[in-house]
Structure 1
Amino acid sequence: MPAMSATPRRSRRASGAALRLGRAAAMGAVAVLVLIAGVWASWGTAQHVMLTKGRERGTVTVTRCGEDTCSGPYAPVSAGSTARARVVIDRSVGVRAGRTYAVVVKPDSDRVVRSGAAGVLYAWVPLGGALLLASVVVAGGLRRPRAGWLLAGSGVALLTAAFLAV
């Protein structure tokens, strides 16, 4: 009879291991998906700020702000860039009327994004939020608290740097 009692015990161990593996795979997939979404959301702006070769660079003096955007005249700095009477920049905490900002023009549009360190950090803010969200999934779902703290610390550092730079 001892041989019969060993089979259900092995079966329980195997099913427990399969459940742990399934949970780890699911939580790992969720964490990776959240991080990919953060990079995807950030890259739309970051590509213009980080890859400036061949793009129009200049300054905008903000003259008027609406609910979501601000606008003002654009003065070129790079060769091949043309002056514009009005360009549009997204309104954020750091954009105020009467101030001048270094910007990069988005191709084939009158929209600009901030350049320099402030622009790079601000462009990666969605990734900072994704790092914070993924840290909860990694620490709780994957039961990897050290890795979770590392992701959370990276997210907080990125968001704090962006806040201070902007």
Structure 2
Amino acid sequence: MPALASRQNAVVALRFGQLAAMGTVAALILIAGVWASWGTAQHVMLTKGRERGTMTVARCADDRCTGPYRPLSDGSTARDRVVLDSEVAVDKGRTYTVAVKPGSDEVVRTGTGGLLYAWAPLGGALLLASMVVAGGLRLPRLAWAFGGAGLTLLTAAFITL
């Protein structure tokens, strides 16, 4: 009888270890997704006190687009050249609403498209975490929820940009 109890205790301990390890991995993936997204999302979401305006794309090269900046908010100053990541799907000659990152000449797109693009890394993290939750934690409903949320976020970002 003691051998059976010892074996059951070992199985319980191993299962707990697996759940703890996979739960930690899933949590770290999600934290990394939020961390990667927040660098851009904070400028899009928290616009109070930030310089906001429009940028007309004049030139794109080396994953960066440049153009003049015209202010829309109080305290914002016009600039001859600001920089926007060209990965945001911009067209030369078009004008976009942007927010200036403090202390730099870099801008980020605002509005729905900019917001969804800023949170795209979280969408990828949700998709990746769904695999860990499904396989490592064996929680298929939660995995489907994570995967569906990630896929929805990435699809919405793709469509709006």
TM range (shorter): over 0.9
Q: Deviations over 1:33-75 (max 9, x none)?
A: 0000000000000000000000000000000000210000000
TM-score using structure 2 length: 0.99
Structure 2 counterpart of 1:39: 34
After superposition, residues 103-118 of structure 1 pair within 5 angstroms as 103-118=98-113
Structure 2 counterpart of 1:138: 133
Cα drift, residue 102 of structure 1: 0.3
Structure 2, unaligned runs of 5 or more: none
Moved over 3 A (4+): none
1:54 counterpart SS class: coil
How many angstroms apart in 2 are the aligned matches of 1:10 and 1:122? 53
Report the RMSD for the aligned CA atoms in angstroms: 0.6
2:87 counterpart SS class: coil
After superposition, residues 57-68 of structure 1 pair within 5 angstroms as 57-68=52-63
After superposition, residues 26-105 of structure 1 pair within 5 angstroms as 26-92=21-87, 94-105=89-100
Structure 1 counterpart of 2:115: 120
How many angstroms apart in 1 are the aligned matches of 2:42 and 2:95? 22
Cα drift, residue 94 of structure 1: 1.6
Match for residue 9 of structure 1 among 4, 9, 30: 4
How many angstroms apart in 1 are the aligned matches of 2:120 and 2:91? 19
How many angstroms apart in 1 are the aligned matches of 2:76 and 2:160? 26
Match for residue 20 of structure 1 among 11, 15, 21: 15
How many angstroms apart in 1 are the aligned matches of 2:58 and 2:144? 43
TM-score using structure 1 length: 0.96
Structure 1 counterpart of 2:149: 154
The answer as to whether partners of 2:96 and 2:109 remain within 8 angstroms in 1 is yes
1:92 counterpart SS class: helix
How many angstroms apart in 1 are the aligned matches of 2:70 and 2:78? 5
Structure 1, unaligned runs of 5 or more: 1-5
Cα drift, residue 93 of structure 1: 5.1
